[in-house]
Amino acid sequence: MELGLVGLGRMGGNMRERLRRAGHTVVGYDRNPGVSDVGSLKELVERLSAPRAIWVMVPAGDPTRATVQELADLLDDGDLVIDGGNSRFTDDRQHADILAAQGVGYVDCGVSGGIWGLEVGYGLMAGGAKEHVERLMPIFDALRPEGPRDEGFVHAGGVGAGHYAKMVHNGIEYGLMQAYGEGYELLAASGIVDDIHGTLKAWSRGTVVRSWLLDLLVRALEQDPSLAEIEGYVEDSGEGRWTVEEAIRNSVPAPVITAALFARFESRQDDSPAMKAVAALRNQFGGHAVKAAGPTSGAGDTRT
Amino acid sequence: MELGLVGLGRMGGNMRERLRRAGHTVVGYDRNPGVSDVGSLKELVERLSAPRAIWVMVPAGDPTRATVQELADLLDDGDLVIDGGNSRFTDDRQHADILAAQGVGYVDCGVSGGIWGLEVGYGLMAGGAKEHVERLMPIFDALRPEGPRDEGFVHAGGVGAGHYAKMVHNGIEYGLMQAYGEGYELLAASGIVDDIHGTLKAWSRGTVVRSWLLDLLVRALEQDPSLAEIEGYVEDSGEGRWTVEEAIRNSVPAPVITAALFARFESRQDDSPAMKAVAALRNQFGGHAVKAAGPTSGAGDTRT
Amino acid sequence: MELGLVGLGRMGGNMRERLRRAGHTVVGYDRNPGVSDVGSLKELVERLSAPRAIWVMVPAGDPTRATVQELADLLDDGDLVIDGGNSRFTDDRQHADILAAQGVGYVDCGVSGGIWGLEVGYGLMAGGAKEHVERLMPIFDALRPEGPRDEGFVHAGGVGAGHYAKMVHNGIEYGLMQAYGEGYELLAASGIVDDIHGTLKAWSRGTVVRSWLLDLLVRALEQDPSLAEIEGYVEDSGEGRWTVEEAIRNSVPAPVITAALFARFESRQDDSPAMKAVAALRNQFGGHAVKAAGPTSGAGDTRT
Amino acid sequence: MELGLVGLGRMGGNMRERLRRAGHTVVGYDRNPGVSDVGSLKELVERLSAPRAIWVMVPAGDPTRATVQELADLLDDGDLVIDGGNSRFTDDRQHADILAAQGVGYVDCGVSGGIWGLEVGYGLMAGGAKEHVERLMPIFDALRPEGPRDEGFVHAGGVGAGHYAKMVHNGIEYGLMQAYGEGYELLAASGIVDDIHGTLKAWSRGTVVRSWLLDLLVRALEQDPSLAEIEGYVEDSGEGRWTVEEAIRNSVPAPVITAALFARFESRQDDSPAMKAVAALRNQFGGHAVKAAGPTSGAGDTRT
């Protein structure tokens, strides 16, 4: 079928390619003319036959909001917009309402797979009305991995459910990554296991912890056996934060996901104000040495 | 080759079967005569030709210690004992010394795979001397999953390294399971995603969180869609605790693995003394209602 | 000076009393005619001479919002409203704007002290314009504990700063309470310390952990030595949640405050969906027994 | 009464002074002749009249063990040794047995108070036999703060109970300090509260979070308003670790105390191997930029 695709970055560009390989007609638009098929959103809309379907794959927040608003003005009754970006699920209701006012349908779709999706396919979680999701099934089937449809695609619920599912997916992802990270660090610190890379690789089959993330960690250690070239500095995108916020809103204890999020915050701090305060307190009550500058020892008497 | 196997429970029994299917001669001993091939450890030893190899697969702690001690008395110079149970890595040095005094070699081997190992194979992590590990390779090759050897087996290091690797494996496992558990609970609590089972199943391929544990969770939800028949009561074996103890001994922050361990402790408490104290404090400073018995509301004024 | 006081519950009633003892003229309004000095907000406003000051002490959220809106309609240029309730700091800007449109000033004030405030005084954190805060100093001085003003009162910053400070205060409070609770539980669980109440009481002077909360815990144990009459069920008001949300918004790691919040969530769960999922997983991979109903053992083989 | 005191460091030196001020005769021994009253342990023992009482105040572990062993050889039936250092409670049974073989009694005593103890007094938690503890009451009464005895001293239980109580005290202390630290960091990060020092000081009276640690934090901020001269690098002594180990041994969830301990571990890491692994994973699946050296941005696309 015919699809408009807005945003041709790392994700959008690969998705255009995967869809074309599957025989679909994709007209892509990006602000970068070097990758764009058309010169403007307006031109994109004109190039598609009604009823149109346009997939938005731009950064969450203002860029997605602006694109949806612009499309609302350009599209007609019966057209369909899909937000495949990492929008917060609370944005979806607003986007749907803006478009509905013009008779345009809306589907939100969580997309997982990263740079591997072009070859392996993308895990998809869609939210929206049944008729809208059904219309897009040829696209979903082309993007998702081969094999049974329900192992790579779900119609998770109404508008917002797709992004909600993706948000939770990413929250879980934070926890999984941190669990492997902690285990790796302990293996490295203890000095008891000589072959750390080999140990992780031996977990690839048969063990309880086998997973795609484990395979990727083995791969990373093949390339850099002690991760010497990588700093332990980890960004977070929105989904981890939103997952914890949602956990709180729903009174759901989420200690693992939250610990993984906080570990990322810590990884980006040069010095911790909280630990300055703790060091100051120890100095106040126990006369314990505090460190003024470089990493000298400063152990001191620890009796309190 | 020929192998003695002590302990024919859920794990040992399946391992005997898998080894026999691979053409090895296994003489098994268990206190339960219904499954045992011989009537005593002594008879087991007599049935094997020197140099013997005997795999111990009994509960960690006293049972393993007693078995090792008894074998030390029965075996001869050049024989070999493998502890495939879930012993603490600190036991291995003692076991090795006891056996070495009789000229008997020792290998510790972490085994992962659970009830699936019979068909899929077991992930194996061995610790010990090179010549001992090499002698056992036919056994390891039969037990591990098919495919490249290094994806299912590792000689992790000296005596104790196998159990250490398995301990960390299980610590990671705790973290992974808890991450999925938290995500599942949030999906269930929010009411935004209608098809929770379908959502988890759609993560099976292509997504970042795909794993064997995810597949098992999907399977569990197929059998019991809201897990209504299962109580949220979770035992822990030793490895999770030992992992946290080792993290502390090595000054390694392990917030995710530890949170997963504590969640299990909490799952087994009918009432929490800590939270009794917190409730008592709120009552003391704010006059907040406390609950004396059944689950009534007791919200009260929360101003403090 | 003259003060209108809206809300005469546990907090507001005591504050009226403390202010009157200090010689101020307080006209109180409450929907409960049994405690109210006047029959309506309108009558309250009429009873005060301009420029008026009216302290709002009603539950956060809709009740406070409605009161502020009603007061905006009743008050005149030069009057002043103080929100002393537990509003989220983000509400303050809105309240200030609503009132400013009528020429009415606004101060937010975090109030701590609970049921002890009547006798001991209340810790106060004010946010707003300098001239507004200064006009209210006689009231603040009457409400705060005796002693140096800066040990019981702060003008923390602009509109919202008072509630922000109170929010963080309560977040810290959650962490402190949980720390004592965990320590208490460990003492009780270990069986090594015979005199738990005496131990906590012995910390009252001289030790690093001495605090008012510790004194209250000692008091609670005097009344109920094993806290047998209290269920470990703990509500949370908004501030703990908001503190964690703010920590996330500011990329501040807050593991202790968050753990304390989650412990409260857990304390209110009859069964944990997350732990159901974990139990289901253990059953799937290891054939570990799951608990179907009452608290039977269900340990099973833990080898994985 | 007469007391021998071994170890005249920061704690022991002040304790000698406080005991002398109270009229007791203290003979102190330290390896540092500049502060020691005698030239050897042997001389110390000779200087005291039987039945002797000797208080050991040296670092936990080997130094304490060696001192106890040496005293066992020097002392006589009816003498008494007190370990006031920060020994692990599991050492106490061994020390008691070594001494009991010579007819010498043993009391363990947790001591809190830091450098303030000289003036304010020390919080004391004693473990041992009733008759031994009673013999030492004049010493305990001189060391503890003025006021009711039970607010500064407890006979917590048998041998080991004193150090156990002190261990839990320190575990709680870790949690309290971290709670204040996190609150401080949030106030500093948000930029909404202008007067952070003033806010903490205003909590000194009347609020729920008032405590001695809060007073010390206010004091530290008076000396260094943004803690600019202190690095967020925090040592830990043994008690925090032992508390978590004991929590695990007793299946007691201790998320707050453990988070506080891990925060200290993190504070001492230049780079985190766990976060290197997480960064490597993000790079593997999403092509996210990793940081190779200095703190450049490296945000990149976060879509996964």
SS (H, E, C) chain B: CEEEEECCCHHHHHHHHHHHHCCCEEEEECCCCCCCCCCCHHHHHHHCCCCCEEEECCCCCHHHHHHHHHHHHHCCCCCEEEECCCCCHHHHHHHHHHHHCCCCEEEEEEEECHHHHHHHCCEEEEEECHHHHHHCHHHHHHHCCCCCHHHCEEEEECCCHHHHHHHHHHHHHHHHHHHHHHHHHHHHHHCCCCCHHHHHHHCCCCCCCCEHHHHHHHHHHHHCCCCCCCCCCCCCCHHHHHHHHHHHHCCCCCHHHHHHHHHHHHHCCCCCHHHHHHHHHHHHHHCCCCCCCCCCCCCCCCCC
Mutation pick from D109, D208, D221 vs chain C, by most beta carbons of C within 10 Å, is D208
pLDDT given at position A217 = 98
Could you give the residue numbers annotated as active site of A?
A: 166, 173
- Residue A26 pLDDT more than 90? yes
Q: Which residues of chain D neighbour B248 with C-beta distances below 8 Å?
A: 241, 244-245, 261
3-state secondary structure of D146: coil
pLDDT at position B103 is: 97
Beta carbons of C248 and A245 less than 8 Å apart: yes
Average pLDDT per consecutive 10 residues, chain C (304 residues; last block may be shorter): 96 97 98 97 98 97 98 98 97 98 98 93 98 98 98 98 98 98 98 98 96 98 96 95 98 98 97 96 88 44 38
D217–A9 CB contact, under 8 Å? no
Q: Report chain A's mean pLDDT, rounded to a whole number.
A: 94
Summarize pLDDT for A103-150 with one digit per residue, the tens.
999 999 999 988 899 999 999 999 999 999 999 999 999 999 999 999
> Is there a catalytic annotation at residue B276?
no
pLDDT of A299 > 50? The answer is: no
Residues A61-96: tens digit of each pLDDT: 999 999 999 999 999 999 999 999 999 999 999 999
d(CA A215, CA A193): 19
Tell me: the pLDDT tens digits for C178-199? Answer: 999 999 999 999 999 999 999 9
Per DSSP, D283 falls in state: H
Q: What are phi and psi of B165, to 5 degrees?
A: -60, -40
At D6, which helix (H) or strand (E)? strand D2-6
* B15 interaction partners in chain A (CB closer than 8 Å): none
DSSP secondary structure code for residue D145 in this structure: P
Q: Is the pLDDT of residue B26 over 70?
A: yes
In this structure, chain C runs to a length of 304
What local confidence, expressed as pLDDT, does residue A296 receive?
A: 34
Decide if D217 and A293 are in contact by the 8 Å CB cutoff: no
Contact (CB, 8 A) for C281 and B147? no
Q: Which domains can be identified in chain C, with CATH numbers?
A: 2-158 (3.40.50.720), 167-267 (1.10.1040.10)
Q: A153 forms bridges with which residues in the sheet? A: A124
pLDDT digits (tens, 9 = 90+) for D190-235: 999 999 999 999 999 999 999 999 999 999 999 999 999 999 999 9
Task: Decide if D243 and C186 are in contact by the 8 Å CB cutoff.
Answer: yes
- Nearest-by-Cβ selection for D205 from C151, C174, C254: C151
| Prediction ipTM score | 0.94
Distance of alpha carbon B183 from alpha carbon A253, whole angstroms: 10
Q: Do A233 and D279 touch (CB under 8 A)?
A: yes
Give pLDDT, residue C295: 35
- Which 3 state secondary structure label does DSSP give D191? coil
Confidence of residue B289 (pLDDT cuts 50, 70, 90): confident
The enclosing H or E element of C259 equals helix C255-267
Query: Rounded to a whole number, what is the distance in Å from the CA of A79 to chain C's nearest CA?
Result: 37
Measure CA A238 to chain center: 8
A244/C241 touch (CB, cutoff 8 Å), yes or no:
no
Please name the residue that has the structure tokens 């390896």: D31
* Three-state DSSP state, D23: coil
From chain D, the residues in CB contact with B244 under 8 A are 244, 248
Mean pLDDT (whole number) for B82-86: 97
Q: Please name every residue paired with C127 in a beta bridge, in sequence order, or none if there are none.
A: C108, C157
Q: How confident is residue A237, by pLDDT bands cut at 50, 70 and 90?
A: confident
Coil vs helix vs strand at D267 = helix
Read off the pLDDT band of B114 (50, 70, 90): confident
Q: Sign of torsion, CA B32 B33 B39 B44?
A: negative
At residue A287, the pLDDT reads 84
**Closest Cα in chain D to B253:** D262
pLDDT band at A290 (very low <50, low <70, confident <90, very high): confident
Q: Which of D152, D171, D190 sits opposite C202 (nearest CB)?
A: D152
| Disruptive mutation site among B252, B269, B284, B303 for chain D (greatest number of D CBs within 10 Å) | B252
* Chain B interface test: which of A182, A214, A242 (most B C-beta within 10 Å): A182
Cα D168 to its chain centre, rounded Å, is 10
Distance from CA of C49 to the nearest CA of D (A): 31
Query: Which of A120, A211, A247 faces B212 most closely, judged by CB atoms?
Result: A211
- Give the chains touching A; criterion: ≥3 Cβ pairs < 8 Å: B, C, D
B149 pLDDT above the threshold of 70: yes
Q: Give the pLDDT score at A114.
A: 86
Which residue from B245, B255, B266 is facing D262, i.e. has the nearest CB? B255
Q: Please state the rounded mean pLDDT for residues B33-37.
A: 97
CB-nearest partner of B209 from A161, A176, A209: A176
Contacts of C284 in chain B (CB under 8 A): 216-217, 219-220
B255, B262, B285: residue with CB nearest D208: B285
- When scoring A178, A236, A239, A251 by the number of chain C Cβ atoms within 10 A, the one with the most, hence best to mutate, is A251
Would you call C261 and A248 a contact, using CB atoms and an 8 Å cutoff? Answer: yes
* Per-residue confidence band for B267, with pLDDT thresholds at 50, 70 and 90: very high
Centre a 10 Å sphere on the Cβ of residue B296 and count the other Cβ atoms it contains: 11
Q: D39 to chain C nearest CA, in Å?
A: 32
Is the whole-model pTM more than 0.90? yes
- C260 by DSSP, 3-state: which? helix
Q: What are phi and psi of D111, to 5 degrees?
A: -125, 120
Residue labelled with tokens 């049921």: C115
Taking residues D75-100, report their average pLDDT.
98
pLDDT in tens, D24-83: 999 999 999 999 999 999 999 999 999 999 999 999 999 999 999 999 999 999 999 999
Q: pLDDT tens-digit profile of D236-263?
A: 989 999 999 999 999 999 999 999 999 9
pLDDT digits (tens, 9 = 90+) for B154-178: 999 999 999 999 999 999 999 999 9
CA A44 to chain centre: 27
What's the gap in Å between the CA of C74 and the closest CA on chain D?
30
- Per-residue confidence (pLDDT) for residue C297, from 0 to 100: 32
Q: How far is the C-alpha of A137 from the C-alpha of B201, rounded, in Å?
A: 17
Contact (CB<8Å) C281/B217: yes
